[in-house]
Structure 1
Amino acid sequence: MPEKTENRFAAEMFRSSHLLILIVYTVMSAGLTAAALLFSWELWALLIVLAGVISCWGLHLTQTFPAKVRIGIYSFLILLSIFYYGIHPAGMFDLAPLITVTMMLFTMTDLLPMEHCCFGTFAAAMLYDTVQLRQTAGAIAAPTVLRILLHILLVTAAWRVGCIIIRKHRQSFAEAERQIDALTDTARRMDDFLANVSHEIRTPINAVIGLTSIMLKRDQTPEQKRELLSVEAAGFRVTEQISDILDYTEIDMNKLTVSRETYILASVINDISAKVQSDAAKDIEVIFDIDISVPAVLIGDPAKIRKVLWHLVSNGIKFTRQGGVYVRIESAAQEYGVNLRIRVTDTGIGMTEEEKEMALDMIYQVGSGSSRRSGGLGLGLKIVQGAIRAMGGFLTVESTPDAGSVFTAAIPQGVSDESRCITLGSRDDMCIATFLRFSGIESGQVREYYRQLIGGLASSLGVPLYSVNELSDFLKLQKHYHISHLFIGVREYEDNQEYMEDLAKSMTVTVAAPEGFALPENSRIRLLRKPLTSFQIAALLNTTSGAAADAQEEKADSLFCPDVRAMVVDDERMNLIVAEGILRNYGMQITKANSGPAALRLCEEQDFDLIFMDHMMPDMDGVEAMKLIRAADAARGHETIMIALTANAVSSARRMFLAEGFDGFVSKPIEIADLERTLRRLLPKHLLRSRQDAEPVITESAPPEVTEAAEVPEPQPEPEAVPAADPMTILREAGIHADAGLEYCQNDMDFYRDLLREFTGSADEKIAEIVKFRQAGDWKNYAIRVHGLKSTSKMLGADALSELAKTLEFAAKDEDTDAVAQTHDRMLECFAQTVAAIRQALGEAEPAPAEDIPAADPMTILREAGIHADAGLEYCQNDMEFYGELIREFCGSADEKRAEIVKFRQAEDWKNYAIRVHG
């Protein structure tokens, strides 16, 4: 059979046929031996049969020869045995049934020659028997002739049927293989599609979240701050859902990868606690109880541990009407490290046996009607189960309808530091008391959870604990014991505020309170924010008392690194603006580079402590640039921390970047917690300082020759000759959705104007590059350039230009010259109109003589040019100044972009052409 048709099905049947044929041969050999002894046939032949059986089993067990050779030997010996049996008179009329059965058996091999050999063996044996019969008996009787003809007809029919079966098998197998190839190709395309979707969606979300975090650090009214927090929360929610979809797809395709890195369990719990604090309903209590014997530093995949824990906790919150969620984390020592045991118990609606199976086996939401507390994609438990399996663990579920559920995960983890995760500095004179009536908690089960948390922690730490429900009982307790720490609830504090404030002068009094509760100014009472964790309580026991200490601790914990010399490398200037705005908040000395070669030149001129490197860049991608910088550092004995900064969100991306040599990985959009966790892990301790001790630091600028290519131009004063006009109106009338662009900039008009200026400032250069790469047929660089044009114009609100660039990007990636030719010129024309409208809105256009053209509204000019200026302004949160900056940025780079687009189109470099029009 041709090698092409040997697909997985035929190969599996072929392997199965080996053993079956060998067994049949052995049975037939035993029967042949019995017949030979019974009829006194030639005994020497039996020795050959016996040797053949032993040899065949030896070949099968040792797999000495290729499979086809072995099955050929088995078949030859079977047919030889049948021939030997058939040439004897006693076996003449048994020959046809034996050959028919053998033919059917050989159909499993999917080998037509085997069928032909069977027919040939029958013909030879039957011819021999007929000749012998004629010689011994003379004329052959009519009934005998009839029997011979019937046997020949039977074997001929079996031979034809066997050949038809094999041909049908081949056709079916080939069709199945084609379908599998088609499905595999579809799955691969879907995988690529999801990766592209991840990049495309995360890039604008990066801008939204990044700019929101910047705006939150500025002075805002309470209402503005609430709105910004809502925008930021929505951005993070979209990012999480994208991540969940990608994780589910990777799990479903068995492509989920697991990293191994050191992590601190306390950091994971603190992250989850912070998310619960902002997301959980106020009437749901969440408790994190951690066994103090769990190792402090583990080795595993912290991102997946965090995801597993978050999905289990959020699942409990969703399906709990009242009560709470109790998380217990323990560990059991093993040879490889520990089994991390996570048990999440809730008092929710529970599940039936059928619902448990469905929840773990498919996309499913238990109680998808009114019983659900909040929305979701229904992927949580599937992701949890897939991630746990990928890490070598298992998940069990115990649940009873209307009585809650218990999810237990056991995950193997390595150990980096065997010391306990929770310790006390000193137990001397430490005595804990709790005054909690749990008046706001109706569930007795939740009250028991709190008792287990505080009582178990005190017992494990060896600290005496006394619990009371009434103030009178506490007064009695105080007479007999020297209480050092008192834990109370909000109601207990409010009912006895004056007494508690006075009591805080002699002991540490702590109020466990939800978000929103505030203590009076100058209060000495400590505040413990819910959800409560073992780490919070232990940290409080290890610190001094007083509200001032709280403020000092919070301020000291704020990350600040003014001595860090950092460089951000990205080919999109707007991404550089966002990254710079975030990193400046940490006091870093920021230098920017817009390409790999520019970063190399900067590294030759000065040393950097930290480099954030984008991946997809023209000429030299981020991985290549990182390796060249590493080589240069090694030559001069310097070491730079390299962090990959990319919108590629699939789980294998982190592993790939770390394997290539990056020290860390931060995905776009940038999550502040993830960024700070990475900085704390990678930066040397001497570069991390408390914000309260830091001196003001002046941000370092890049060298002039590189700054020209990498730095965002400073806003230029608007010419006095430009007629008075509303820039937003100009943009809207030009077809630019300026309102959407302003919304992207969180209604910061100054910021929007900066981005507009940056866009126009590089426009000529970008056009030149696009044209150049097209002319050269350099589709890789063409796609990179239009990719950048697609995203930057989208941020401004120039949707029409963005869509044209997107079309060119995909066409360039496919090297579809016809598609590029159809859209390229339209894109250039739209690009020029957009840049002209933005420049006019910013006051950068050539002023027309007053007698010919009356004073125009900039937004009107833009609208008339086909730019949806209103949408662009909306992106900038209706901040006209910010929108103006974006327009100036667009116009500033218009010539450059136009040149690049033209270059790549003329060069037929469709990849770079697509990248340029994408931008």
Structure 2
Amino acid sequence: MLKELKQKRNTERIILIMLIINYSFMIFSAIKLRWNTWIPTFMLIEAAATIIFYVGSYFEYERRARINTILIMISISIYSIHYGEIGPVIVPLIAQIVLIGFYDIDSLMLYPAITLTVIVFYHAVILQSFTINSVDDVYDILVPIGNSYMILLYVHLWDVRKLRGKKELERVTEELEEAECSKDDFMANVSHEIRTPINSISGMSEIVLRDELLDSTRLNVENIKLSCKRLTTIVDDLIDFSDLRTGKYEINDVKYSIDSTVNDIVNYAYSIKKDKSIEIIVDCSSSIPCELIGDETKIKRVIRNILSNAVKFTSEGCIVIKIGYRRESYGINLSFTIKDTGIGIDKHDMEKIFSSFNQVDSKRNRQEGGLGFGLPIARAIVEQMGGVITVTSEPGVGSEFKVVIPQKVENQEPIISEELDIKANILAYLDMEQFHLMQIRDEYRAAIENMSTNINVPVHLCHNLAEFKRRVGLKQYTHYFISLVEYNEDKSYFNDLAEKNDNVIVVIDRYQEDEIESDKIIKLMKPMYIFPVLMALMGVSNKAGTYIATENFKKFTAPDAHVLVVDDDPVNLKVASGLMKTYEVKTDVAGSGAEALKMIDSELYDIIFLDHMMPDMDGIETFRRLRKKNGFYFKEVPVIALTANTVFGAREMFLEEGFQDFLPKPIEVSALKRVLKTYIPDEKIIMENDITEASMADTPIVTDDTQQEDVLQADDFIDYKQGMIYCGSQENLMEVLQLHYEEGNENWHKIKKAYDDEDWKNYVIFVHGLKSSMKSVGINKLSGMAELLEMAGKEENIDYINKNNEALLSEYSRVIDGLEEIFGCSNEETTADLKETDAAELRRICDEFEDIVYSFDPDQMMQVINELKQYSCNGIALADKLVQIEKKIVNSDYMSAADALKRIIDEITTEGDDHAL
């Protein structure tokens, strides 16, 4: 659009210059021929108006073109009227016709056509300046006039053709843009769909790895999990690339702790280097403000992309990570520098690395694979955050990437307190000769010196074992740091030193723990940088004796926290409540928006989890009514949206509405942990210092009922392991499945009734709930069928619903029957001590119950239900069918209880009739 406007502006400028020349010619002629003074004055005013319209950009382009054309035609007409001959007038008129054609507006040719006709009529009829008496007269007069009309026609046709070509180009461009958008949307949607099974496979692999396995089996499962992670990275790249291309990628600025960010980045760098002989060297400034405001997730994404690229193309040597900052008026410029000793990049390839789907020198690098998305995505994200990313490189030497991102400061306190007074004196022995590259030696020395300065602790660096032993004999030090190479030089000496001193610390790789023979020696895992070193100096260690650098992996509980979960599906409420137990959070549940609003009036919750799609009052309407309530609490309480609709834009839609955050259903443990940690007040969170993330994972609770587990694993309608992932434990999964069994018939009839009544709004809501609730327990086939019907309902594709609804209900019936085999009792067990009755008696009791319903007496209703529990009909025990009726009575849902009871009795009697037949 800007390019088109600029092109029109340039065209108008050229036309203006030519018009001014033409006005000057006519003004000069008028003055020379001594015409009335008003004529050149009028033409001068017209010329001035043309200039003013252009310079001031008055009116739009087409209107200015019409005004300028009319003005110049008026001048031409005045000029021709006062000129005694028609010949001299034809030439400037033809010039104006061609000039006006540059406007690319075909209708403008009407004005010079009218002007030419008027001029010819005036000279031929009124002025009679020419007569046709001979062939020469025809040639001298009519040929120029005829040529003028022909030029007029040619210019008009030229404009029409150009406009048609322009419109065709616009049409093709629009189609290409639509195709591009469709491709991006398709890529984004497919990527989102791929992510779900990948997460399931990864989660199942994690569960399997917790069991005792053969070494070969464990290796295979670990390879599966690793492949899932790599595939997840590719999918994330596809999604982000698509979002960045379509302008849908958003930066979400929130408060975060920079020390946690640094630890995550360092751990990532170490994890991806695997068995490569690469040293990870970290140099972090201790004075960076501890809490910043920005998009931490995007920042880590950028740095991880660069680190991944550095590790990919560095076979040996080192990767240096430097984290620093510079204060600015708006906060700080946070900087990350990643330097490697890899293959490097040629100068002419430097810009290519930021182009998508591109790997420079692809033949040499093909063994590393990849789509070439990482660096282009990194630069796009950095630029969107207002930062810059630069690269310097030399082939065969290595590359250096520097990322600078502006961040606001939430807390000015540095990550390492200036008041921290550590009484320590360190003796370190690091044999630099073990590194054949001089760059590794230099970087290690610089990092150690900076660390010593940052924490204000002296470090005496020895270059050989003899110097180390000599210093130990001369002076007492508080801490002794060595690496495994130095330890292996004289194991007995360092073991004896550890017996005499509690602070002998060996820096090792994570697979080298068994090489340390003395239990007295403290093992510090690489990479060695400011946070783990500081904790080692302060004497903070875990049970295994390995120093830990961050609280990022600690489990937490919040027994004083109180949350409300709102969902119309009881199963989803059960799942959410079960997941909250991990964190000891007190949980209330509500089955509708109206119920939630009543509960919020009488209780102060720390977080409200609100389902999106609910009948009567959906989540957004409930949220709006909540925020309209008078009082600070109602305006500020964190509200988290819950929805099974995880298509692109869902999160942005909820955040724009005012929700604090968004959780997709089924709820994943890691996502829930993040939300709870973010929005529960800090004073209510209790960190457990001795529990790491590995032990925090939700280990399945083994129950005594192994028969039920065997049934679940053997059945074909449920993915037991996926259910375990989403429900958090076997115990919670069994409870949720029990609830599905109890509520299944009622939900089945809700869907059928909505379909029979063609109530498509509620039909979509019911199948939407079925989609998420079934997926949360691993009943994937039914969940997938419900999802397709939900999409059809939203698109008003009634034909699809009509063709597939019966299949959905049939599959749902199969699931209910399967659950009955697990939780229901056999007829011999349930009917042994029951009274057999007939259909007439049951209908009589049902009518009695309906009469009591209108009296609104719950006690009498329960008496009728208890009476019915003593009966069986056609060999079917009623007790198993009445659990949902009791719940409705407890919830004061009396009319629904009466309808449900009538439906149950109809089913039992109908089933008996079928058997009789």
TM norm structure 2:
0.77
Counterpart of 1:473 (choices 467, 479, 488) is 467
CA distance in 2 between counterparts of 1:747 and 1:146 reads 100
CA distance in 2 between counterparts of 1:819 and 1:672 reads 35
**One-letter amino acid of the counterpart of residue 387, structure 1:** I
Contact 1:424 1:538 in 2 (8 A): no
Tell me which moved more, 263-272 or 207-216. 207-216
Write out aligned runs for 1:734-749 (5 A): 736=717
Does residue 771 (structure 1) correspond to residue 752 (structure 2)? The answer is yes
- What's the CA shift for 1:537? 2.9
Counterpart of 1:159 (choices 140, 146, 152) is 152
- What's the CA shift for 1:193? 4.8
For residues 383 and 823 of structure 1, do their structure 2 counterparts lie closer, same or farther at Cα, with a shift above 3 Å needed?
A: same
Match of 2:659?
662
**One-letter amino acid of the counterpart of residue 318, structure 1:** K
Tell me which moved more, 559-568 or 60-69. 60-69
For residues 381 and 53 of structure 1, do their structure 2 counterparts lie closer, same or farther at Cα, with a shift above 3 Å needed?
A: same
Does residue 435 (structure 1) correspond to residue 432 (structure 2)? The answer is no
For residues 33 and 610 of structure 1, do their structure 2 counterparts lie closer, same or farther at Cα, with a shift above 3 Å needed?
A: same
- What's the CA shift for 1:381? 0.8
Does residue 258 (structure 1) correspond to residue 251 (structure 2)? The answer is yes
CA distance in 1 between counterparts of 2:664 and 2:429 reads 45
Write out aligned runs for 1:109-120 (5 A): 109-120=103-114
CA distance in 2 between counterparts of 1:381 and 1:553 reads 29
Counterpart of 1:836 (choices 778, 794, 817) is 817
CA distance in 2 between counterparts of 1:253 and 1:301 reads 20
CA distance in 2 between counterparts of 1:637 and 1:718 reads 47
Does residue 608 (structure 1) correspond to residue 608 (structure 2)? The answer is no
Contact 1:289 1:328 in 2 (8 A): yes
- What's the CA shift for 1:78? 1.3
CA distance in 2 between counterparts of 1:514 and 1:673 reads 28
Contact 1:760 1:892 in 2 (8 A): no
Match of 2:912?
none
For residues 612 and 437 of structure 1, do their structure 2 counterparts lie closer, same or farther at Cα, with a shift above 3 Å needed?
A: farther
Contact 1:427 1:463 in 2 (8 A): no
Contact 1:511 1:528 in 2 (8 A): yes
Counterpart of 2:583 (choices 564, 583, 586) is 586
Counterpart of 2:556 (choices 555, 559, 573) is 559
- What's the CA shift for 1:282? 2.8
Q: Deviations over 1:39-73 (max 9, x none)?
A: 44444311111112222322333344455443322
Does residue 143 (structure 1) correspond to residue 170 (structure 2)? The answer is no
Q: Deviations over 1:117-139 (max 9, x none)?
A: 1111122223333457745x765
Contact 1:612 1:643 in 2 (8 A): yes
Does residue 295 (structure 1) correspond to residue 289 (structure 2)? The answer is yes
DSSP-derived class of the 1:762 partner: helix
CA distance in 1 between counterparts of 2:219 and 2:736 reads 25
Match of 1:817?
798
Match of 1:279?
272
Does residue 26 (structure 1) correspond to residue 24 (structure 2)? The answer is no
Counterpart of 1:379 (choices 373, 381, 395) is 373
- What's the CA shift for 1:681? 4.2
For residues 539 and 725 of structure 1, do their structure 2 counterparts lie closer, same or farther at Cα, with a shift above 3 Å needed?
A: closer
- What's the CA shift for 1:774? 3.2
Does residue 356 (structure 1) correspond to residue 350 (structure 2)? The answer is yes
CA RMSD of aligned residues (A): 4.6
Counterpart of 1:514 (choices 501, 509, 514) is 509
Match of 1:105?
99
Tell me which moved more, 29-38 or 306-315. 29-38
Match of 2:523?
527
DSSP-derived class of the 2:608 partner: strand
**One-letter amino acid of the counterpart of residue 468, structure 2:** F
Q: Deviations over 1:458-511 (max 9, x none)?
A: 134443322223221112233455433332212323444444355445463332
Counterpart of 2:123 (choices 105, 126, 129) is 129
Counterpart of 1:688 (choices 673, 685, 688) is 685
CA distance in 2 between counterparts of 1:580 and 1:377 reads 41
Counterpart of 1:463 (choices 453, 457, 466) is 457
Q: Deviations over 1:783-812 (max 9, x none)?
A: 343244345556777665455434322221
Counterpart of 1:411 (choices 398, 405, 415) is 405
CA distance in 1 between counterparts of 2:454 and 2:722 reads 56
CA distance in 2 between counterparts of 1:752 and 1:546 reads 33
- What's the CA shift for 1:312? 0.9
Contact 1:317 1:324 in 2 (8 A): no
For residues 285 and 786 of structure 1, do their structure 2 counterparts lie closer, same or farther at Cα, with a shift above 3 Å needed?
A: farther
CA distance in 2 between counterparts of 1:509 and 1:786 reads 63
CA distance in 2 between counterparts of 1:668 and 1:364 reads 36
Tell me which moved more, 633-642 or 289-298. 633-642
Contact 1:318 1:372 in 2 (8 A): no
Write out aligned runs for 1:784-803 (5 A): 784-790=765-771, 793=774, 801-803=782-784
Counterpart of 1:634 (choices 611, 631, 635) is 631
**One-letter amino acid of the counterpart of residue 55, structure 1:** A
**One-letter amino acid of the counterpart of residue 511, structure 2:** G
Q: Deviations over 1:688-720 (max 9, x none)?
A: 2233699xxxxxxxxxxxxxxxxxxx999999x
Q: Number of matched residues?
A: 824
- What's the CA shift for 1:379? 1.3
Contact 2:338 2:402 in 1 (8 A): yes
**One-letter amino acid of the counterpart of residue 157, structure 2:** I
Contact 1:311 1:381 in 2 (8 A): yes
- What's the CA shift for 1:313? 0.9
For residues 71 and 85 of structure 1, do their structure 2 counterparts lie closer, same or farther at Cα, with a shift above 3 Å needed?
A: same
Q: Deviations over 1:815-850 (max 9, x none)?
A: 01222222222322333234334534666686899x
Counterpart of 2:30 (choices 36, 40, 47) is 36
**One-letter amino acid of the counterpart of residue 534, structure 1:** I
CA distance in 1 between counterparts of 2:189 and 2:172 reads 25
For residues 642 and 102 of structure 1, do their structure 2 counterparts lie closer, same or farther at Cα, with a shift above 3 Å needed?
A: same
**One-letter amino acid of the counterpart of residue 310, structure 1:** R
CA distance in 1 between counterparts of 2:778 and 2:329 reads 58
CA distance in 1 between counterparts of 2:668 and 2:525 reads 22
For residues 124 and 692 of structure 1, do their structure 2 counterparts lie closer, same or farther at Cα, with a shift above 3 Å needed?
A: closer
- What's the CA shift for 1:100? 3.6
TM norm structure 1:
0.77
For residues 507 and 100 of structure 1, do their structure 2 counterparts lie closer, same or farther at Cα, with a shift above 3 Å needed?
A: farther
**One-letter amino acid of the counterpart of residue 159, structure 1:** L
**One-letter amino acid of the counterpart of residue 832, structure 1:** S
CA distance in 1 between counterparts of 2:630 and 2:131 reads 101
Q: Deviations over 1:550-576 (max 9, x none)?
A: 579889943232322234445566665
For residues 792 and 328 of structure 1, do their structure 2 counterparts lie closer, same or farther at Cα, with a shift above 3 Å needed?
A: same
Contact 1:282 1:514 in 2 (8 A): no
- Relative contact order: is structure 1 or structure 2 higher (C-alpha 8 Å, sep ≥ 6)? 1
CA distance in 1 between counterparts of 2:643 and 2:30 reads 79
Counterpart of 1:74 (choices 68, 71, 78) is 68
- What's the CA shift for 1:680? 4.1
Tell me which moved more, 362-371 or 258-267. 362-371
Contact 1:559 1:676 in 2 (8 A): no
Contact 1:210 1:579 in 2 (8 A): no
* Structure 2: tracts of 5 or more residues without a match: 692-701, 831-879, 889-895, 901-917
Write out aligned runs for 1:163-312 (5 A): 163-186=156-179, 189=182, 193=186, 196-197=189-190, 200-202=193-195, 237-283=230-276, 284-312=278-306
DSSP-derived class of the 2:749 partner: helix
Contact 1:115 1:159 in 2 (8 A): yes
Contact 2:506 2:521 in 1 (8 A): yes
DSSP-derived class of the 2:86 partner: helix
Match of 2:39?
45
CA distance in 2 between counterparts of 1:646 and 1:524 reads 53
Match of 2:50?
56
Match of 1:912?
none
Q: Deviations over 1:415-455 (max 9, x none)?
A: 22333333455456433332122576444323332222222
